[in-house]
Amino acid sequence: MATIGTLLYTLIRGERIGTDEFGNRYYRARTARRHGRERRWVIYKGGDEASKVPPEWHAWLHHTVDAPLTQRAAEGKPWQKPHLPNPTGTAEAYRPGGHEFRGGQRASTTADYEPWRPES
Protein backbone atom coordinates (compact mmCIF):
# COMPACT_ATOMS: atom_id res chain seq x y z
CA MET A 1 0.00 0.00 0.00
CA ALA A 2 1.34 3.39 -0.97
CA THR A 3 1.93 6.01 1.71
CA ILE A 4 -0.21 9.13 1.86
CA GLY A 5 2.76 11.18 0.59
CA THR A 6 3.16 8.99 -2.49
CA LEU A 7 -0.55 9.16 -3.20
CA LEU A 8 -0.58 12.96 -2.90
CA TYR A 9 2.52 13.32 -5.10
CA THR A 10 0.92 11.02 -7.67
CA LEU A 11 -2.33 12.97 -7.63
CA ILE A 12 -0.59 16.34 -8.05
CA ARG A 13 2.37 15.53 -10.31
CA GLY A 14 1.80 12.08 -11.76
CA GLU A 15 0.68 11.08 -15.22
CA ARG A 16 -0.74 7.57 -15.43
CA ILE A 17 0.95 5.47 -18.10
CA GLY A 18 -0.71 2.11 -17.68
CA THR A 19 -1.67 -0.91 -15.62
CA ASP A 20 -0.30 -4.45 -15.68
CA GLU A 21 -2.11 -7.79 -15.32
CA PHE A 22 -1.59 -7.73 -11.53
CA GLY A 23 -3.38 -4.39 -11.15
CA ASN A 24 -0.21 -2.35 -10.47
CA ARG A 25 -0.43 1.21 -11.81
CA TYR A 26 2.54 2.96 -13.44
CA TYR A 27 3.19 6.70 -13.45
CA ARG A 28 5.68 9.28 -14.61
CA ALA A 29 6.18 12.89 -13.52
CA ARG A 30 4.45 15.48 -15.70
CA THR A 31 7.17 18.05 -15.09
CA ALA A 32 10.82 18.43 -14.10
CA ARG A 33 13.38 15.86 -15.06
CA ARG A 34 15.98 14.86 -12.51
CA HIS A 35 19.51 14.44 -13.84
CA GLY A 36 18.16 14.34 -17.40
CA ARG A 37 15.64 11.54 -16.75
CA GLU A 38 11.96 11.61 -16.03
CA ARG A 39 10.79 10.20 -12.72
CA ARG A 40 8.87 6.90 -13.00
CA TRP A 41 7.17 4.89 -10.27
CA VAL A 42 4.64 2.17 -9.54
CA ILE A 43 1.79 1.95 -7.07
CA TYR A 44 1.30 -1.70 -6.22
CA LYS A 45 -2.05 -3.37 -5.84
CA GLY A 46 -1.93 -5.06 -2.46
CA GLY A 47 1.37 -5.27 -0.61
CA ASP A 48 4.53 -3.61 -1.88
CA GLU A 49 6.53 -6.39 -3.50
CA ALA A 50 8.99 -5.53 -6.27
CA SER A 51 8.81 -9.02 -7.80
CA LYS A 52 5.18 -8.29 -8.78
CA VAL A 53 6.47 -6.05 -11.60
CA PRO A 54 6.48 -7.97 -14.91
CA PRO A 55 9.58 -7.72 -17.16
CA GLU A 56 8.07 -5.30 -19.68
CA TRP A 57 7.22 -2.78 -16.96
CA HIS A 58 10.51 -3.37 -15.15
CA ALA A 59 12.35 -2.32 -18.32
CA TRP A 60 10.28 0.86 -18.52
CA LEU A 61 10.69 1.73 -14.81
CA HIS A 62 14.47 1.41 -15.06
CA HIS A 63 14.74 3.47 -18.27
CA THR A 64 15.85 0.50 -20.38
CA VAL A 65 13.12 1.37 -22.91
CA ASP A 66 11.46 4.72 -23.60
CA ALA A 67 7.90 3.41 -23.74
CA PRO A 68 6.26 0.37 -22.15
CA LEU A 69 6.13 -2.66 -24.42
CA THR A 70 3.00 -3.17 -26.46
CA GLN A 71 0.47 -5.79 -25.40
CA ARG A 72 1.61 -8.06 -28.24
CA ALA A 73 5.25 -7.84 -27.17
CA ALA A 74 4.30 -8.40 -23.54
CA GLU A 75 2.53 -11.66 -24.37
CA GLY A 76 5.86 -13.36 -25.01
CA LYS A 77 6.65 -16.59 -26.77
CA PRO A 78 4.64 -19.82 -26.43
CA TRP A 79 7.52 -21.48 -24.56
CA GLN A 80 7.72 -18.74 -21.91
CA LYS A 81 6.06 -19.21 -18.55
CA PRO A 82 3.83 -16.40 -17.24
CA HIS A 83 5.40 -14.00 -14.75
CA LEU A 84 4.79 -14.89 -11.11
CA PRO A 85 5.75 -12.85 -8.05
CA ASN A 86 8.35 -14.35 -5.73
CA PRO A 87 6.46 -16.56 -3.21
CA THR A 88 9.31 -16.76 -0.65
CA GLY A 89 7.93 -16.32 2.85
CA THR A 90 4.34 -17.08 1.83
CA ALA A 91 2.22 -20.22 2.00
CA GLU A 92 2.92 -20.82 -1.71
CA ALA A 93 6.71 -21.01 -1.17
CA TYR A 94 8.49 -24.17 -2.33
CA ARG A 95 9.20 -26.64 0.44
CA PRO A 96 11.02 -29.89 -0.28
CA GLY A 97 9.71 -33.21 0.97
CA GLY A 98 11.69 -33.26 4.25
CA HIS A 99 10.78 -29.72 5.28
CA GLU A 100 9.24 -29.29 8.74
CA PHE A 101 6.13 -27.67 7.30
CA ARG A 102 5.56 -30.77 5.15
CA GLY A 103 5.79 -33.30 7.97
CA GLY A 104 9.56 -33.28 8.48
CA GLN A 105 9.96 -36.85 7.20
CA ARG A 106 11.49 -37.84 3.93
CA ALA A 107 12.22 -41.14 2.30
CA SER A 108 15.70 -42.60 2.75
CA THR A 109 18.01 -42.63 -0.23
CA THR A 110 21.19 -44.50 -1.02
CA ALA A 111 23.05 -41.19 -0.95
CA ASP A 112 22.18 -40.48 2.70
CA TYR A 113 25.00 -39.47 4.98
CA GLU A 114 26.97 -42.17 6.76
CA PRO A 115 29.09 -40.94 9.66
CA TRP A 116 32.73 -41.87 9.87
CA ARG A 117 33.45 -44.49 12.50
CA PRO A 118 37.01 -45.07 13.62
CA GLU A 119 38.31 -48.61 13.41
CA SER A 120 38.90 -50.09 16.81
Instruction: Please provide the distance, in angstroms rounded to a whole number, between the alpha carbons at the two ends of the chain.
Output: 66
pLDDT value for 55 = 84
User: pLDDT tens digits, residue range 71-90?
Assistant: 666 667 788 888 788 888 88
- What residue spans define the domains of the chain? 4-77
Q: Give Cα separations from 102 to 82, 94, 97, 112 (angstroms).
A: 27, 10, 6, 19
pLDDT value for 86 = 87
pLDDT per residue as tens, the chain (120 positions): 578 888 898 899 899 999 988 899 999 998 877 778 889 999 999 888 888 898 889 989 998 888 877 666 666 778 888 878 888 888 888 888 777 777 777 666 667 677 788 986
pTM of structure: 0.67
